[in-house]
Amino acid sequence: MAIGLVYDGHAQHRPPASARATHIETPERVSVIYRALGKARLLDRLTRVAPREATRAEAEAVHTAEHLDALEALADAEPSLRGAWRGGAGGGWSLGRDMFHDAQTACAARRAAGGVVALTEGVLRGEISSGFALAGFCFLNSVAVAARAALSPRGGLRRVLVVDWDVHHGDGTQAIFEEDPAVLFFSLHRFGRGFFPGAAARSRAPLAGAEDGLPLPLSFAQGPAPRAAWAAAPLQAIELRGRSTARAFDPQLVLVSAGFDAAGGDLADEPGGGGGTSP
């Protein structure tokens, strides 16, 4: 069966000129992947799925109205390299230079989330067997929006597995689905003292998830062990813990948040932060 591809060549959410050579979240990060698929002669083997904007209702199934209103307000705000998000000390706003916004941010975020929803709908209709969305992060949780769409009356599903592989813990997705027995969440990530996002990244009790709907974080401490040994740990965890748990859960759909900052040579690698994993 066909494999789908969502690629939005019109996304213009980009950092200020002073940071374009170094910031990881640029349209070029996505377009270079698309060009690589073309050079490998893979585009003709993929079914293009047209991206669309996520609707307000789809986004509100995951995010608060306050968050969405703040996102829309960015269109009229002064462009900044200091992004803001809810969840700082005392529930206030936190700031950091790993995010930015401009007039195109809200539209790009809606199209990123809507593209994943469109891809998911194609799978549910049987038009494609699987797919990949070339999208950015992280003003809207695209995978969470797609999961909730699949579990809606229109989507018709009852069980969705969400897998997040990334050097950082998928704490946002975990928080969204922590009390939802219809979603089983795996997060494969590094855990270490002071490593973002902190203590929440520590693994839960073994096999949490299959019995009670809780997420199943799989953490890996990167210490003096050789990089090759650390890089093999995620595969061992999937084999030993993840596969049996997923089978017991019996998902009707699997969604993957594919983060590649654990890969060797990643430009966003923090000092000692990357996993040095190979493709």
Q: pTM to 2 decimals?
A: 0.77
> Residues 6 or more apart from 36 whose CB is under 8 A from it?
none
pLDDT tens, residue by residue, 81-103? 454 444 444 444 444 555 666 67
Neighbour order of strands in the sheet with 183-190: 216-220, 183-190, 160-165, 253-258
Cα 199 to the center of its chain, rounded Å:
20
- Domains in the chain: boundaries: 158-279
pLDDT tens, residue by residue, 199-237? 554 444 333 333 443 445 554 444 444 444 444 455 566
Check: CB of residue 273 under 8 Å from CB of residue 182: no
Reported as a pLDDT band with limits 50, 70 and 90, residue 20 is low
Answer with the residue of higher pLDDT: 154 or 259: 154
pLDDT for the residue numbered 257: 86
Q: CA dist 198 to 28, 89, 171, 206, 223, Å? A: 30, 14, 10, 20, 16
Q: Is 5 helix (H, G, I), strand (E, B) or coil?
A: strand
Check: CB of residue 245 under 8 Å from CB of residue 254: no
d(CA 157, CA 88): 34
